Amino acid sequence: MFKIVKREEMAEGTVVLNEIEAPLIAKKAKPGQFVILKANETGERIPLTMADTDPDKGTITIIYMVVGKSTALFKTLETGDEYQDVIGPLGKPTHMEKVGKVVCVGGGTGIAVLHPITRGLKQAGNQVTSIIGARSKDLLIMEDAMKAASHELHVCTDDGSYGRKGFVTNVLKEILDREKIDLVVGIGPVPMMKFVSAMTKEYGVKTIVSLNPIMVDGTGMCGGCRVTIGGETKFACVDGPEFDGHQVDYDELMNRLQAYCEDEKECYDSFCTMNA
């Protein structure tokens, strides 16, 4: 059992942070890696990239958006409650080295995953500019943490309720027009990563994205997380989760994420009715 030692709600309760006791994972995990969590006996195995780890305290932090039954169930867990199973660290860590000027682009809960990578890239000696975005001010998370992890931070909201009005790609374009960038890291909703990658490809700037397809075991056994990278099938769980953003078939990924949407809706609706 894996106890929640800290719980915080963000973005008007649509996003939840859990710091969880998992000493073995905390000792091993590196930025970019993920865990699989299962809340209880009948629960689903849900992969989530870690937002932080504290090897001394023996804890890991996850930040998730409530989007369906399983995350709604996660949300019912209070401080002191336990996840039945947490498995990890899984996937390959982010490759961190000094490359020069880096732009980190994050959207939604992708910002949580981007944060330790941003911090690591800054520590590695890079000049880091970050751009984070959300639909509106209330849904924006981790502004302060991202500010601390970067040399420069830009904030955008789709509706203009905070920061710049518009998409993260607008700011990214200005930066790419202005100076030579050596690496872009984009983590967020699939359409955001798709547009970021399309833009950086025009500018010939290497881009890393982190994918989160549907998976079961997370160890390369089921092949449910197949993604097409440069025309080749890869397993996101063991070959990723990070890939060259210019090689990803995003449309296929978006389709595959919809595989169980009707089942999920049924499950979520009945859960919400039960807990109404």
Partner 1 sequence: MADTKAKKEKIPRHAMPEQDPDIRKRNFLEVPTGYTVEAAMQEAGRCLQCKKPSCVEGCPVQVDIPGFIALIREGDFNGAVRNLWTKNSLPAVCGRVCPQEIQCEGKCIVGKKDDPVAIGNLERFAADYARMNPTGELPPKQKSTGKKVAVVGSGPSGLTVAGDLIVKGHEVTVMEAFHKPGGVLVYGIPEFRLPKEIVFSEVAFLEKLGVKVECNAVVGRTVSLDELFEEGYDAVYIGVGAGLPRFMNIPGENLIGILSANEYLTRANLMKAYLFPEVDTPIPRGKNVVVLGAGNVAMDSARTAMRLGADSVKIVYRRSRDEMPARKAEIHHAEEEGIEMMLLTNPTKYIGNENGRLTGMECLKMELGEPDASGRRRPVPIEGSEFNIDTDLVIVAVGSGANPLLTQTTKDMQLNDWGYIIADPETGKTTKRGVWAGGDIVTGAATVILAMGAGRKAADSIHQYLSWGW
Q: Which of 84, 179, 230, 272 binds partner 1 (CB under 8 A)?
A: 84
5 near partner 1, judged by CB under 8 A: no
Gyration radius of the chain's alpha carbons? 18
Query: Which span (53-61, 78-86, 136-144, 204-212) binds partner 1, by CB under 8 A?
Result: 78-86
Q: Looking only at residues 239 through 258 of this chain, which bind partner 1 when binding is defined by CB under 8 A?
A: 251-252, 255-256, 258
Instruction: Judge whether 81 and 22 are in contact, CB under 8 Å.
Output: no
266 near partner 1, judged by CB under 8 A: yes
* Cβ distance to partner 1 smaller for residue 5 or 267: 267
Query: Which span (51-59, 96-104, 162-170, 260-268) binds partner 1, by CB under 8 A?
Result: 260-268
Question: Within 10 Å of residue 179's Cβ, how many Cβ atoms?
Answer: 11
210 by DSSP, 3-state: which?
Answer: strand
Instruction: Describe the chain by its helix, strand, coil percentages, rounded to 5.
Output: 35, 30, 35
Maximum Cα interatomic distance, the chain, rounded to a whole number of Å:
54
Q: Which of 81, 82, 85, 143 binds partner 1 (CB under 8 A)?
A: 85
Facing residues of 110 across strands?
Answer: none
137 near partner 1, judged by CB under 8 A: no
Query: Which span (59-67, 149-157, 192-200, 259-267) binds partner 1, by CB under 8 A?
Result: 259-267
Cα–Cα distance list, 66 to 104, 111, 143, 155, 275 (Å): 24, 15, 20, 23, 15
Instruction: Judge whether 88 and 45 are in contact, CB under 8 Å.
Output: no
Q: Cβ of residue 208: shortest distance to partner 1, in angstroms?
A: 21
Q: Which of 31, 47, 89, 163 binds partner 1 (CB under 8 A)?
A: 89
Query: Which span (95-103, 130-138, 191-199, 224-232) binds partner 1, by CB under 8 A?
Result: 224-232
Q: Which amino acid is at 106?
A: G
Is 33 exposed, middle or buried, given 0-12, 13-18 or 19+ CB atoms closer than 10 A? buried
25 by DSSP, 3-state: which?
Answer: helix
7 near partner 1, judged by CB under 8 A: no
Q: Looking only at residues 160 through 219 of this chain, which bind partner 1 when binding is defined by CB under 8 A?
A: 216-217, 219
223 near partner 1, judged by CB under 8 A: yes
- Sign of the Cα torsion 174, 149, 200, 136 reads negative
- Residues of this chain that interact with partner 1 (CB under 8 A) are 24-25, 28, 38, 42-45, 69-70, 73, 84-90, 216-217, 219-224, 226-228, 233, 238, 251-252, 255-256, 258-260, 263-264, 266-267, 270
